[in-house]
Amino acid sequence: MSRSFFALHMLAVALLASLFLPHSDAIWKGIDTVFFVTLNSSISDHPIQQAFWAVFNIKITDIFGASFLFGCFLLYVFEGEGQERRKRVAELIYTLVWFEISILLCKQCFTPICEHLGISRHSPTVVMKASVMLSEVAPWVKIKDSSYFCFPADHACIVFQWCAFLWFFAGWKRGLFAYLFSTLFILPRLISGAHWLSDLIVGSGSIVIIALSWALCTPLLNRGLHSLYRFVGYHPPLCTPGEVDA
């Protein structure tokens, strides 16, 4: 295993420790509270903003977010030609495989463990009764603005990991663009009070970091891509003697 593999695991452990070790969560409580109050109160006297964020909170809008992120990767794929395009198709499939793995890791392993250990928390709107409830101001849509098990944020987990793979395969410019634009698909949960900020940074972040460490910092990367290269018919170019000597 590479140093990056162990460093990423240590980072994930440090993130979790910052929230759950005794006396270590005081800073997060302050950040979470200020962040939520600032966002949620900003729409308290603005019916148009409330309607806007209510619409962005319904589940069908997640399709637009997923389409955007998938479209970013497809643009990268189809900008290549010939063998290069086949190579990028293999990278896309590899990303999709780990996309499913991370969802299973989050929903079937991490979340149940948090619930069993009693460290899965109530969402801001459950804890802070003076919050603006979008489900009340916009009862004409089905909105997720409260939860008794809000840690981790599975929606953010999906977004973070997809952007990270795009960054790794397609370059930092595409990855950074995807990260910046995808905040539009994460903000609704934060504004409505379905999640604390630490649900995303600590919960989703630690899951994504662990998944990326296995996907990109172990022999699984080369072995997985090699198998997918054969599947899509990609043949890596052979090095010339001069290139080997260099």
**CATH 1.20.144 holds for 3-235:** yes
pLDDT, mean of each 10-residue run, the chain (246 residues): 88 89 81 92 88 85 85 93 94 93 80 72 86 83 81 85 93 90 86 90 91 93 94 76 41
Q: Which two tokens stand for residue 94?
A: 């590899």
- What type of residue is 213? S
pTM of the model: 0.87
Amino acid at 128: M
> For the segment 35-71, what is each residue's pLDDT rounded down to a tens digit?
999 999 998 888 888 888 888 888 788 788 888 889 9
Task: Report the 10 Å Cβ neighbour count for 172.
Answer: 11
Spans of all domains in the chain: 3-235
- Measured distance CA(66)–CA(116) in Å, rounded: 30
Crossing angle of helices 172-192 and 61-79, in 10° steps, is: 180
Distance CA 222, CA 216 (A): 9
Contact between 13 and 209 under an 8 Å Cβ cutoff? The reply is no
Give the model's pLDDT for residue 170.
Answer: 93
Quote the pLDDT of residue 146.
81
**End-to-end Cα, the chain, rounded Å:** 27
